[in-house]
Structure 1
Amino acid sequence: VLGVLKTSPHIRIIGGMPILKDLATVAFCDAQSTQQIHEKVLNEAVGAMRYHTITLTREDLEKFKALSVIVRIGSGYDNVDIKAAGELGIAVCNIPSAAVEETSDSTICHILNLYRRNTWLYQALREGTLVQIVEQIREVASGAARIRGETLGLIGFGCTGQAVAVRAKAFGFSRSLGVQRVYTLQDLLYQSDCVSLHCNLSEHNHHLINDFTIKQMRQGAFLVNAARGGLVDEKALAQALKEGRIRGAALDVHESEPFSFAQGPLKDAPNLICTPHTAWYSEQASLEMREPAATEIRRAITGRIPESLRNCVNKEFFVITAPWSVIDQQAIHPELNGATYRYPPGIVGVAGRTSCCHGKGCLPVLDTANTGLKTVQAPVWRILPHLNCVLSGQVGCEFSKTL
């Protein structure tokens, strides 16, 4: 948690950055709940930087007496009550392009692991299984499959979804540049051999993957989730794995974290790979996430809230009449740039040239590589208002982009 006292600048922060040192004193607070935060911070903190490990409800937010901005060091903000924050005059921001390369790399690793079963092959050898003749190979590697020609469905197509699509194409998930339009989640689930989730969690998509939607999937499909644990009903997933309706699943995020196999519905589920919410992590990503987060705090301190903020996610709820909505400073400090994003929103290098489209609601079309003509065979970025579904596969790739 980061706090800036309005009288004598002082900061309490997780992952503090030098970007803020000329504005306030930086210190660290390793709190996992507001009950662990010192009363002085609750009374005087003006800003907060936080990871995904702490939840802030309305009751938690009301404990802060001077808080004006919260910056999530990462992209997901489902564990902050953004509506309550806005009504209390607290702006909530995120870093939408955080850890794109790491998360997309981890997603591809999970997909490859499910198809080639490396985790289970390793476990078999550790357990003493001897593999020499073809019959033994066939037995221990049962379920391993070829990737080329398979159809990958991506639910959510922001920076990470786009990066996964680029990587997946290299492994043969797409054999042509034809367009397969997906208008509903049901279409995507029915046509995909592997489904991967890349969307934020909200009240509208909680348990998006549940018993009903699992039954819409192809028999024996794979499921990968490196987005948010609440997107998947783990009880329904466990049952589907036991029945073989889902051939295998790889989860980096879970409904209850920290995750443990000792309890919960997944404890005895077969063909399951779990990692402890680490798909985003590398030393480089950790630094690149903290820098723009600290820069956003700097904008709040030196500018106006929420007008000066670049990635405020709750402007629609924000109360501009809050007494601390503008932080008065005697001197305006020059803004420091945050880390650059290798995959900025709206940029995908898949094929051909990108046609220009400036109006909302339009459909940008990627030209084919061998002609300058826009054809129905060329990949399309399609606006899918609610589910933001993407299908890349045997008949081609479709890219949807939420405005």
Structure 2
Amino acid sequence: MSKLVISTSSFDVDSNPHIQHLLQEGMHIASNSHGRKLTEDEAIELLGADAVGMIAGIEPLTERVFASAKSLKVISRCGSGLDSVDLAAAKRHGIAVLNTPEAPAQAVAELAMGLILSALRRICRTDRLLRAGEWPRTQGQLLAAQVIGIVGFGRVGRRVARLCQAFDAEVIAHDSYVEQAPEGVKLVPLEKLLAEADVISLHLTYDAGTHHLLDADAFARMKPGAVVINTARGGLIDEVALAEALTSGQLGAAALDVFEQEPYHGPLLKCDQAILTSHIGSLARESRQCMEIEAAENLLRGLGNAGLIKDGLIKNV
């Protein structure tokens, strides 16, 4: 029987017309039952040797995974980032890799804005103190008075810039691949951004060159009391160094939605100045629906290109 793997645990199979069509056509769906990101071994087990297509999350899709998944022809990533996929290995094994870069962008940008405002106005800490029986008169900071530094000026970074500008904040940005910024945004070298920004928000891809882009040295070069936001990828930040910078008072706050290891169990859990969310950037209902529909459309197109579907009907699988 034909098999499709859906590894992202929050995928709404019942409301996706494309997946429902495949089910009606006899496609078997194997889902992630762990409620979290799969390990490499778990991905191998779920795919088996008979999966022809995969709607993927952020689990590691490596040479070892592809060598084991001998029938796999299409990976449709439910999301934008492809850093968890060994693209060279996928090409060697003849596996098409597709993604949904546009659908989650607004949701991630809005979460970044929520985290920026929560960090500046100390919303989460004030809530905790009130629930503990206190009545804190917490003094925060105005977004309008801050210099916002955006590292990575693509789909999400540009949206965050516009949202910050709507609050009358000054915005500077760094992106090695962008030569011209929109009106009101100044492109600067990374060193200048780290030194001048009050809030630094990461919106770039993760690879070997950006691993621990923000480390102890980078934190030391930031303004005392600066705020760090990460809704991109966990590996961009040295989390141990971040916890130390928060504890020492070098940084005023940090807000992270992504971590090197998820679920997260590291030292930031003990930092009152840290706001931590569980990789929910794309989990806005409207955005998530669009992303899942687009991922399923990509899968169907990929299966069609591989000759496994014709005129909406499964064949030769």
Report 1:341-352 matches (<5 A).
none
2:4 to 7, 11, 23: 11
In the other structure, the counterpart of 1:272 is 274
In the other structure, the counterpart of 1:284 is 286
Give, in whole Å, the separation in 1 of the partners of 2:81 and 2:185.
29
In the other structure, the counterpart of 2:177 is none
Query: Structure 1 29/178 Cα, relative in aligned 2: closer, same or farther at 3 Å?
Result: closer
2:160 to 158, 164, 167: 164
Please tell me whether the aligned partners of residues 13 and 26 of structure 1 are also in contact (alpha carbons under 8 angstroms). Answer: no
In the other structure, the counterpart of 1:84 is 89
Is 2:80 the partner of 1:75? yes
Deviation at 1:279, TM superposition (A): 2.3
Report 1:4-403 matches (<5 A).
9-14=2-7, 15=11, 16=13, 17-20=16-19, 21=21, 25-30=27-32, 32-33=38-39, 35-36=41-42, 42-52=48-58, 54-130=59-135, 137=137, 141-142=138-139, 144-174=140-170, 181-260=186-265, 264-303=266-305, 326-327=306-307, 331-333=310-312
Deviation at 1:34, TM superposition (A): 5.9
1:247 is paired with a residue whose SS is strand
Query: Structure 1 38/265 Cα, relative in aligned 2: closer, same or farther at 3 Å?
Result: closer
Please tell me whether the aligned partners of residues 81 and 99 of structure 2 are also in contact (alpha carbons under 8 angstroms). Answer: yes
Higher deviation after alignment, 165-174 or 122-131: 122-131
Query: Structure 1 222/35 Cα, relative in aligned 2: closer, same or farther at 3 Å?
Result: closer
Which has more helix, going by share of residues? 2
Give, in whole Å, the separation in 1 of the partners of 2:212 and 2:46.
39
Give, in whole Å, the separation in 1 of the partners of 2:40 and 2:247.
40
Give, in whole Å, the separation in 2 of the partners of 1:109 and 1:89.
41
Give, in whole Å, the separation in 2 of the partners of 1:39 and 1:279.
27
Deviation at 1:245, TM superposition (A): 1.2
Please tell me whether the aligned partners of residues 51 and 69 of structure 2 are also in contact (alpha carbons under 8 angstroms). Answer: yes
Please tell me whether the aligned partners of residues 226 and 250 of structure 2 are also in contact (alpha carbons under 8 angstroms). Answer: yes
1:145 is paired with a residue whose SS is coil
2:127 is paired with a residue whose SS is helix
Deviation at 1:199, TM superposition (A): 1.4
Which residue type is aligned with residue 32 of structure 2? D
Runs of 4+ with deviation above 6 angstroms:
37-40
Instruction: Give the root-mean-square deviation of aligned CA atoms.
Output: 2.5
Give, in whole Å, the separation in 2 of the partners of 1:36 and 1:112.
38
Give, in whole Å, the separation in 2 of the partners of 1:112 and 1:212.
26
In the other structure, the counterpart of 1:340 is none
Deviation at 1:63, TM superposition (A): 0.5
In the other structure, the counterpart of 2:179 is none
Which has more strand, going by share of residues? 2
Which residue type is aligned with residue 43 of structure 1? A
TM-score, scaled relative to structure 2: 0.82
Identical positions, percent: 31
Structure of larger gyration radius: 1
Which residue type is aligned with residue 254 of structure 1? F
Query: Structure 1 43/166 Cα, relative in aligned 2: closer, same or farther at 3 Å?
Result: same
Which residue type is aligned with residue 94 of structure 1? N
1:239 is paired with a residue whose SS is helix
Give, in whole Å, the separation in 2 of the partners of 1:102 and 1:41.
29
Query: Structure 1 24/121 Cα, relative in aligned 2: closer, same or farther at 3 Å?
Result: same
Aligned length: 290
Q: Which runs of 5+ in 2 are unaligned?
A: 172-181
Query: Structure 1 215/300 Cα, relative in aligned 2: closer, same or farther at 3 Å?
Result: same
Higher deviation after alignment, 86-95 or 65-74: 86-95
**Which is bigger in relative contact order (C-alpha 8 A, separation at least 6)?**
1
Deviation at 1:270, TM superposition (A): 3.7
TM-score, scaled relative to structure 1: 0.66
Which residue type is aligned with residue 230 of structure 1? G
Which residue type is aligned with residue 150 of structure 2? L
